[in-house]
Every structure is written in structure tokens, then in C-alpha cells.
Structure 1
Amino acid sequence: MAVRRNVADAMATDFLSGTEAPLLRLSLARRMDECAVLTGRDGEPAGLVGPTGAWPAVVVPDDLAVEALLTDAPVLRALLDGVPAVVVTRGGRPVGVIAAGTVTELLAAELAATGPGNVLGLEVTPPGVPEAPDPSAPLRLRCGVSVCRATNSFPRWPPDTDVECSAGGHLFVPFWAE
């Protein structure tokens, strides 16, 4: 019987986090890290900040199985679109990050270990059957409207249309556009 591994087993716990994007960028330059976790007023992930870029936070709980991470279409799509890491949370608070390169290594190892007829040890979804987005792994992003700064959740980024901020009263603007 295979041992079930959780994402907590694969995460790095040495990461920067904070509520102010400009200060995170300065700290990143000194540490040579690829990204830091931007948090909202509630302490939950609200985005990722890099020395020259910013991205939505792709959030997964620390007890999520590695196999579930590797088969989560919204997570994989975000990483393919350039998000540099997945934010691992416990009780809604960031406890670690998994770099996109680490996810690639995990995927390669899982694919090498699985046999024909299944993908990552899971049943294959018949073609043409769409999978619903996983609400436990939303993309979280802080609104950049200066009087708002609420953290919003999206099933995918960018959304298909303009969306109202979760705080209400205005359209959502990503924090990097502030």
C-alpha cells in the first residue's frame, strides 16, 4: 500500500509574507527569493509578489494529498500561466509555499510511478466530462482600490468579465494595478 503524502510534506516553510507589496519587493531583492506571499487584513493569502511581477495566490490546504494537487486543473492552469508558486495554508493562514518547479518534479515522479490505465493512481475522467472547479483551491487576490483592499476569491484568473469586488460598491481591480 502506498503512503499518502500531503502537500505539507513538499512545501518550503522559509518564505516571506506581509501586507505591503512594496516592502515585500525590497525584502525579496535582499533574499533573492522568487516571490513572497501578500496577505490581507485577515491574514489570509491575497496574492504573490515578485521583484518585478505580481500574481494571484493559488491556495491549497496543508492536508491536501499530493495526488489531488497534481490533478487539480485550476492549480495546474495557474502554474502554466506563470504563477510561480502554490501557497499552502492551515486554518486559512499561509504556512508554506510550493514552487512551480517543485510541482513539476512531483508530477514527473508521480507519472513515472503510475501504471497504464490510470493517472496518478486515480480513475481517468471520461473524455467530454468537464470537472467542476475545486472551491477549496481558489485563486485569492487583494483588491487594489485604496479604500478597499478586500481579498477576493476567483475560480480562475483572469475572470471572463469585469467582476464586482467582494466588498461591494466597485469593480474589482488587482492590487498590482494600484
Structure 2
Amino acid sequence: MPKDTKEDEQKTERFNMFLSPSEMKAIEDWAWANRIRSKSEAVRILVQMGLILDNNAFGLASDFLDLTEGFGNKSLATLETISKDDPEGHSPENLQRLVVETFELAIETHERLTYLQQRLSMILQPYQALKSHNSFEDAKYHLLSAQADSLAKALQTKVDIYELKKKHDLLPKDEERNEE
């Protein structure tokens, strides 16, 4: 989203473009469905929404793919360890270690999913603002609001995870000392 676009900025720049009949129909249908009166305004809003998505979608998709791959690999490794016929593999100490590893995997996955959810929210809030006929400037304020919400939720998630680890005595020894 361009940072120098102002709400009251005059729309003085013109350019011509050619569209196929199906592209024009898609724009007209979208404009009609969203109660936008002119094709020019519909194209302007679609361009603004496209800029928001283009600036964020690839990173979000990449992070999501990394998360699913990491979760899959760690889950399979844990399941493989559990299913081994090793006589030592099912000792109480090894089972406790597997429980702790599984717990840590669940926490890591929760943290990363929360992060992805917050990033998605930072894309969708300004996108929805534009789709609701708010100005580009309003969409930027929605983005700032989403960023503030994201930081607050991230902090709360960290606190919740810390409390959960503390409850189950899974804090590293240096974190326990820092707490006192």
C-alpha cells in the first residue's frame, strides 16, 4: 500500500487499458455486487486491494507452508520414536521425554498458527475496509489497528504459554531464576 497516498488526493492521473470482454464483465459484476457506481471506481478499489494482497500474500503463504512442513516432520519423528520396538523406548523416562517433546511441538505450532492468524488479519482488515467503500487512507488506519491488535495478541499468547509451561514445570532453569 503506498504510504504517500492521501485521502483528499486528487485523482488526476489517467491511463488507458484494454480488457477482454470477460474481464470487463467480471469487473462490472463485481462492481454491481459491491454497489459501486462506476467502472473507474471499481477498478481503483480492485487495484488497491490487489496492492494490499500483493504486498503480503507471498510471505504469509510461505510461512504457512513452512509451518505445515515443520509440524509434519516433527510429528512423524515423534510417532516414529513412539512406535519403535526398542525396549528402552518405552521406559518411563523416554515416555516422559516424548510427552514433553509433544507438548513443546503443540506450543510451537500454536505460537506459529497465532502468528499466521495475526498476519492474515493484517491483510484482511484493510482489504475489508476498501471493499466496504472506505477510503485508502481509512484502509491504512485499519492496517495500523490490525498491527496493534496483533502485537497485543502476540504478547498475550507469550504470557499464556509461559504460564502453561510454568504450570507443567517445563520452564528452562534460567527462566525460573529470572522470575524470582
Structure (1 or 2) with the greater helix fraction: 2
**Same-fold call, TM cutoff 0.5:** no
- TM-score, normalization by structure 1: 0.24
> Which of 1 and 2 has greater Rg?
2
- TM-score, normalization by structure 2: 0.24
